[in-house]
Amino acid sequence: MSAQREKASRLAAPDITAMKGKTPIVCLTAYTAPMAELLDPVCDILLVGDSVGMVVHGLDNTVGVTLEMMILHGQAVMRGSRRAMVVVDMPFGSYEGAPEHAYAAACRVMKETGAQGIKVESGPTIPATIAYLTQRGIPVMGHVGLRPQAALIDGPFKAKGRKEGERERVLQEACATAEAGAFAMVVEGVAEDLAREITHQIAIPTIGIGASPACDGQVLVAEDMLGLFDWAPKFVRRYADLRAEIGRAVEQYAADVRARRFPGEAETYFGKS
Ligand code: KIV
């Protein structure tokens, strides 16, 4: 009974949709159980982003990320969290074809992770897939603007929607995504005026990354805002400098081992004397 109550207290798609225009939505990426445990009490959504391929697995882009990787990281984040809605990214190649194939892949993610929703990047055929999935009970988050999975076609990660044709495309994709039944939408790498217009035009929350304060919520890659890398995009605010902190700790550990200061008495088991 208490386990049932605990499950019921998790945020889900309708809670997030209802936050539009009322409370700014807080979202961060999470890929592991310990990080999920740290972020869960303060986040509304934990996004198991396919950025895991670059952040954790050292890939150059997200194209090489597999469904199995997403499921494994989704399971870890579910184990480490209890309150936030967990959304798992569908990786490149798992949803862009026939809606039936997307449905099979999304069902695997939902059943094998227990997550509350999935995310797909936009494209001409994607609204039909979003409609197909949502009509069958799968909460879908859209993703418009800069599409990391399209890096090989769209070119290097650069803000989108500055040219007139591109602006129209992003706006149209956002409207189609909302009309197809998505419960919320990531808006990535667009200028403030376009983010404002999308947020104004659609009935579901926009969650911005590099898309100005005009969105209904914000998402960042947790490792970026914690300062784990020596470089971060302009839109990231670093709230910690973990890279320096970890560097200091590791150097101290190495010095202690080499000087035989570690382990000390406190870290040693002794037999009965
Ligand atoms: O994969 C990811 O982390 C994402 C965020 C950047 C929104 O899609």
How many whole angstroms separate alpha carbon 5 and alpha carbon 88?
A: 23
At residue 78's C-alpha, the angle toward residues 8 and 216, to 5°, is 75
Alpha-carbon span 208 to 136, nearest angstrom: 27
Question: Left, alpha or beta for 188 (phi > 0: left; psi -120 to 50: alpha)?
Answer: beta
Q: What is the pLDDT of residue 155?
A: 72
Note if 164 is an active site residue.
no
Is 122 touching ligand 1 by the criterion CB < 6 Å?
no
Residue 1 pLDDT: 45
- As a whole number of angstroms, the distance between CA 157 and CA 191 comes to 14
Question: Per-residue confidence of the chain (273 residues) as pLDDT tens digits?
Answer: 445 545 558 999 999 999 999 999 999 999 999 999 999 999 999 999 999 999 999 999 999 999 999 999 999 999 999 999 999 999 999 999 999 999 999 999 999 999 999 999 999 999 999 999 999 999 999 999 999 999 888 876 677 777 778 899 999 999 999 999 999 999 999 999 999 999 999 999 999 999 999 999 999 999 999 999 999 999 999 999 999 999 999 999 999 999 999 999 999 999 987
What DSSP character marks residue 37? H
Q: Is 29 in the pocket of ligand 1 (CB under 6 A)?
A: yes
CA of 270 to the centre of ligand 1 (A): 49
201 CA to centre of ligand 1 in angstroms? 23
CA of 50 to the centre of ligand 1 (A): 6
DSSP 8-state assignment for residue 269: -
What six digits make up the tokens of 62? 């997200």
Cβ of 30 closer than 6 Å to ligand 1, yes or no, is: no
The DSSP element (H or E) to which 107 belongs, if any, is helix 99-113
**For position 273, what pLDDT does the model report?**
72
Active-site option among 68, 96, 112, 188: 188
Both tokens of residue 55? 């952040």
Nearest CA to ligand 1 atom 8: 49
Whether the predicted model's global pTM rises above the 0.85 cut: yes
Report the C-alpha gap between 1 and 5 in whole angstroms.
6
- Ligand 1 centroid to Cα of residue 200, in Å, is 22
Residue nearest to atom 3 of ligand 1 (CA): 49
Do the Cβ atoms of 146 and 157 come closer than 8 Å? yes
Cα separations (Å) of 198 from 35, 167, 168, 178?
A: 31, 10, 11, 10
Range 2-11 contact pairs with CB under 8 angstroms and sequence separation of 24 or more: 6/82, 9/82, 9/83, 10/82, 10/83, 10/84, 10/85, 10/116, 11/44, 11/45, 11/83, 11/84, 11/85, 11/116
